[in-house]
Each structure stands twice: as C-alpha cells, then as structure tokens.
Amino acid sequence: MQTAKQEQIDALLETLNREELLTLIEKIAQRLRQVERKPQPLYGAWKGKFPEDANIDDALQEIRSQWREEIEESSK
C-alpha cells in the first residue's frame, strides 16, 4: 500500500520530462552524498577566524545590553 507521499511522488514523476528527471536524480544524489559525510569536529574548525584576544563573554554581554536598551526603547 502506498502512502500519500509516495502517490505524490509517482504523480510528479509522470509529469517530468527526461531532462527534469535527470535533474531530480542529480539533486537526490547530492543530498544522499551530504548525508554520508561525517560531521566535522568543531574543535579547531574556527582557529584563526577570530583574534586570539577575543573575549566572547564580553562580546555577548555587550550584545545583550544593546538588546535590553532596544527592548526598553520599544516598550515606551
């Protein structure tokens, strides 16, 4: 027994020409290849992307205080 999605896929396949079918197959193959890749560990992935002396806690505190100010201004 086919599910609703399978029926939709079958109906779509009936409407596609050869070129569109090939494009669909390429897109499906790309998606399957992406799933097969193992996730990259984050450790070291951002090395060199930010200054060594960057202080994330200070940056987040500044962002939060700006948000608070904006919220206070918008609630007036």
The vertex-19 CA angle with 13 and 21, nearest 5°, equals 30
Residue 17: per-residue pLDDT: 96
pTM for this entry: 0.42
pLDDT (tens digit, 9 = 90+) per residue, 7-58?
Answer: 999 999 999 999 999 999 999 999 888 866 677 787 888 788 888 888 889 9
